[in-house]
Structure 1
């Protein structure tokens, strides 16, 4: 062998011996001596105290995911006992994390550029304390504050049997979770079981679930599996899906099922204003990411039930300033009208108690007194379209095709428009509630057209053969913090006209107290008589509805109604003056009165006052001052003759003072039998 060959052979042998000695030294080195250096480097990189109280040992592992020559550089893996990681100075507890056993690998090459990269950190029996202050500072964001050139990066976290506590002043959360490693199951990636308890926004929290055993904090495309069942107050949530990039909560994709006693109960959880409802349950796909100001979320193709009604739709939430926004569509193929009663606080006491409504409905009140929650209206803007294709109620009032667009912007709610079909006709209204003022200011405009009497009162036997049609307009303004207060302070007017048709003779006979005709009708059957016109006009001042005109004119009788309805005090004070157009064998011919509270009104006969004999003349006289305003409600087709239009035209041509006519009738008439 040549001299050069011998030199090369000896050099290679020497290098192998040196490497062997180094390996032997590393394997036999007491790594506990490096604990101060490791603690110092981690502290410099994170700005936190780091301590290894127990034994520290080293093993080597093949690198994962490295390419080229880097794949030949092994990774040291350290195992330590009794490890603690400190908290910032402002935190409640001195330690953010403690663990009985800790093992972690280190990529050696980044150390040359003063960067500590930990591909995997495994904690056994850990105790984690996560905390966030109201100003947004949190203890899970690491950094040295610019005092060190060292950087710290944790890529994966593995937990086994421990405890995690979260105190979040931003979300008003104080939660404690117990975690444990699960045995082998069908879903191999769900290796971590957990239970949680505590409070969130003042509500009690309990729940359990499963999650992935390995939490990837760096790989953005790695999905972390989640399977959870949680109860917050009166709300239960079941979720199954995945979380991508857990460190940033970049993408969440869940099949989400939510159930609660009212949709309004979700406000403390999601910060979105939803209406008071019957108990509900919905299920759909939730996907999106938290991001800034709440992030962007879509609850897609959800379906479910609200009371006895079905619901389906898609909602989009977008975080933003000064308010986030909610947009989407919701539809119901079968909407029970009674399920809408919680919207205005008109549901039963049991229903109110279940959804946690404050205060009670007074037993002597009909109008809902539950206050609006205006403090929530400014938390979000909304634009949601709602459609109810078939609507039913206990009394079988035929309402269908309800369509409304709910706008909430800067604390002002508007239903513009609110449209639905009713009794063969349609009703269109625009309602606005301004929650920026105290009390709430409200405006309402309503127009009802072509409502059929027969369909409007389907359960009233005497109306089944009626052919009349109702048109109506209303305009109101009000202020108040409940439906009762709004109506009790309202100002405006309500007008209605029933044009052409027939009406039950028995109903008219009962109104006129024509005893003989009532007996004959009951014995031999009812019949329909021609309805010429019915016109009503109420003016409303500070919650008091005063009749300006209320006349029913038929072939057999003319009926005039006069008086007040006090919405603030819920009192009726109406007098009905019937006048027949034919001879009756026995007729009391006395006015009727309807008085007393809405809950228990009284109907009786005013025997001290003789019925009007002026009949049609008085009706026209009462109608004359407002007939011109009522004429636009007479909407007939081309070529059709309107008896109501004729009557209103006559009223404008032949005005008669109602008060004078009534006095004349009272002084000249007698009670008992009479003819026209």
Structure 2
């Protein structure tokens, strides 16, 4: 009786358990899992199938996972993520013994990630739910990715590229990657330029190990720019630090802006190698060496966070510097036809600049980029290598603060003398207000002209200049600027040699003959004083004094159109019929001046000279002369004689 009762009770239970085992479907739990995943990611998450295999190690497999885009993204856009299969292994015994979740293996099969942008919104910015502070994080083992792909289309970065992602065992001979590695390859376009490259990192789950440096290696090419790095990251989950060997090269350092966000003027081809260190939230490229164009370059560059913009500090030195490599800082085309490493496009750009009828750089200065970083840069060029340039070295201190640019000092050594200058550029909407002051202090004439053909004069050059203007390029600033310049020379040596060596007039002897000045006449003093008003340069005084005669000049130069209209003539110190001379007209442009005798008969020439008047420099200019040449100088004596 009792036995029959037990059978009647247990048989239905056993049948129910058997039926439950036979017909059990883990998909019944999908709504619960989807709701939990959606809450964690802040995005709708859907799962097609769910499978669980019970045992000492529980295997959970989810098929057909989709993480949707946020609201507002086009319906035709692919979802943020599609994962055909996700497999997670759970160590059940470890959980029972230690009350900590252990996941020995997490495997993703052929995941596809699609990063998109609509306006200012991106689909990959997740609002992750905060984990309770008291919860124990799971113990993770190996993360495997097989056949992973990612598609990136971000209009604000002008980016459209694809990634292939794969994990694999580390090579047996690898010293950097010992516990497995992840390999990512990239191909497409970035910043409107082709991009290709490959990245290798250590095992993904070792990213959580703060005590062990995470190894990385990268080889990337974006347009003509190549970047290579290898080294380690400290506590990469929180990016606590880095120590990397870094090298980069390309046709123009300005192209690094797309990769670094740091604005750099145009440069010739470059190649630099150094050590990149990240520590205390600051990045530093230290002890780097290399070349930019024909100039070597070494030093340290540091970047630190700041408000409202990043702070860049640089200490740079060149043992040998080619000034044409620095033309980009003035809006010009850097380098020259002999600069090494140029590709066809760079050579074509230089050729176009050389063929231009304009001399002043007209490339607009990128004003928005001036507001992106604050910069403190000190640079020293120990030896200037340009043939025909009389400058010995260069010292500059450039500061960019709140978009305002100051270069103070910008000094050049010329023998025992100095060209000392200071520049201030203040942005105002779409233009810059520019101010510059330049002093020429006791420059040795032999150093200036001896750089060309070995001129041996012992004269001294001095003077000063200032300019103020507004525009978005050097040409615009000078073309509508105001200013003043005075230049003096004492004991200039042979005047014919000076015309050839200093002024570059190969027809110097013929011009002197037209002016009625013997070729070998020594110069006692040269004075030039000009003013600039709204881009129009006017000659206040021009005098080349010799014992035999005085060469005078007047005229204009339009810096907006870059045209010249100058006249020179001679006044003899002792008049005789043999001293009658031909006035000289200087026309053409700043880049291509033309020099020829003024037309008309002799009487007309003489009348013209008298009509122009004898424009001797005023005595009021003497204090400026003393500043440039010293207290005792030939120009002061010459002026005193002329004004007797």
With the shorter chain as reference, the TM-score category is 0.7 to 0.9
- Could you tell which deviates more after superposition, 505-514 or 237-246? 505-514
Q: 1:595 to 1:171 in 2, by over 3 A?
A: closer
Report what 2:61 is aligned to.
80
Where 1:283 maps in the other structure, the secondary structure is strand
Q: Structure 2: how far apart are the matches of 1:334 and 1:626?
A: 42
**Bigger Rg over Cα:** 1
Partner residue of 1:578? Answer: 570
Tell me how large the CA RMSD over aligned residues is. Answer: 4.1
Measured against aligned partners, the alpha-carbon deviations of 1:9-50 in whole angstroms (never above 9, x if no partner) come to xxxxxxxxxxxxxxxx9xxx9998556548735742625636
1:632 to 626, 640, 644: 626
- Please say if residues 471 and 497 of structure 1, whose CA atoms lie closer than 8 Å, have aligned partners that are also in contact: yes
* Maintained 8 Å contact 2:462/2:625: no
1:490 aligns with 2:481: yes
Q: Are residues 1:341 and 2:327 paired?
A: yes
Corresponding residue number in structure 2 for 1:597: 589
2:255 paired with 1:265: yes
Question: In 1, Cα distance between the equivalents of 2:575 and 2:641?
Answer: 25
Query: 2:87 matched to which residue of 1?
Result: 102
* 1:365 corresponds to 2:358: yes
User: 2 CA distance for matches of 1:407 and 1:113?
Assistant: 59
Q: Which is further off, 625-634 or 408-417?
A: 625-634
TM-score by length of 1: 0.76
Paired residue for 2:439?
447
Cα distance in 1 for partners of 2:577, 2:466 equals 45
Change (3 A) 1:331 1:43: farther
Cα shift readout 1:439-482 (whole Å, capped 9, x = no counterpart) = 32110000011212222123554x71211110010011011111
Q: Is 1:223 the counterpart of 2:218 in the alignment?
A: no
Q: Does 1:544 align with 2:536?
A: yes
CA shift, 1:205, in A, is 2.0
Q: Point out where structure 1 has 5 or more consecutive residues left out of the alignment.
A: 1-24, 61-75, 522-526, 655-676
**Post-superposition shift, 1:137?**
6.9
Deviation per CA, 1:360-397: give whole Å up to 9, x if none. 758322222211111211111111111111112142x2
Question: How far apart are residue 53 of structure 1 and its match?
Answer: 3.0
Partner Cα distance (1:561, 1:583) in 2: 19
Change in Cα spacing, 1:114 to 1:134, as seen in structure 2 (3 Å) is farther
Q: Give the distance between the partners of 1:114 and 1:80, measured in 2 at CA.
A: 23
Cα offset, 1:549, TM superposition:
0.8
Which range is displaced more, 552-561 or 182-191? 182-191
Match of 1:610 in 2: 605
1:126 is matched with 111
- Pairing partner for 1:161 from 147, 155, 161: 147
Match of 1:242 among 229, 232, 238: 232
Q: Deviations over 1:177-230 (max 9, x none)?
A: 113336734115363333112343444321124222433242222333222211
Question: Among 253, 258, 279, which residue is 2:269 paired with?
Answer: 279
Post-superposition CA distance 1:154-198 (Å, at most 9, x none): 846332332234456776654421133367341153633331123
**Structure 1 match to 2:45:** 49
Partner of 1:413: 405
Distance 2:215 2:526 in 1: 68
CA contact (8 A) 2:80 2:115 kept: no
- Cα distance in 2 between the residues matched to 1:140 and 1:112: 38
* Alignment: residue pair count: 592
Distance 1:168 1:358, change over 3 A: farther
Residue 416 of structure 1: how far off its partner (Å): 1.1
CA distance in 1, matches of 2:212, 2:48: 31
Alpha carbons 2:34, 2:47 under 8 Å: kept: no
Shift of 1:310: 0.8
Aligned counterpart, 1:473? 464
Q: Give SS of 1:230's match.
A: strand
Check whether the contact 2:181–2:203 (CA below 8 A) recurs between aligned residues. yes
Does the CA-based 8 Å contact 1:537-1:626 persist in structure 2?
no
Structure 1 window deviating more from structure 2 (360-369 vs 560-569): it is 360-369
Q: Tell me by how many angstroms 1:500 deviates.
A: 3.3
**What residue is the counterpart of 2:383 in the other structure?**
390
Distance in 2 between residues matched to 1:306 and 1:649, nearest whole Å = 51
Measured after TM superposition, the shift of residue 496 of structure 1 is 1.1
Contact kept, 8 Å, 2:532 with 2:538, in 1: the verdict is yes
Instruction: Give the distance between the partners of 1:517 and 1:635, measured in 2 at CA.
Output: 25
Distance 1:503 1:393, change over 3 A: same
Conserved 8 A contact 1:31-1:56: no
Aligned residue in 2 for 1:17: none
**Is the deviation greater in 419-428 or in 321-330?**
419-428
1:307 aligns with one of 293, 298, 301: 293
CA distance in 2 between partners of 1:376 and 1:486 (Å): 19
Q: Give the conservation status (yes or no) of the 8 Å contact 1:497–1:633.
A: no
Q: How much has 1:610 moved relative to structure 2?
A: 3.5
The CA deviation at 1:107 is 6.9
Distance change (3 Å), C-alpha of 1:633 and 1:580 = same
Structure 2 partner of 1:184: 171
Question: With structure 2 as the length reference, what TM-score do the two structures score?
Answer: 0.80
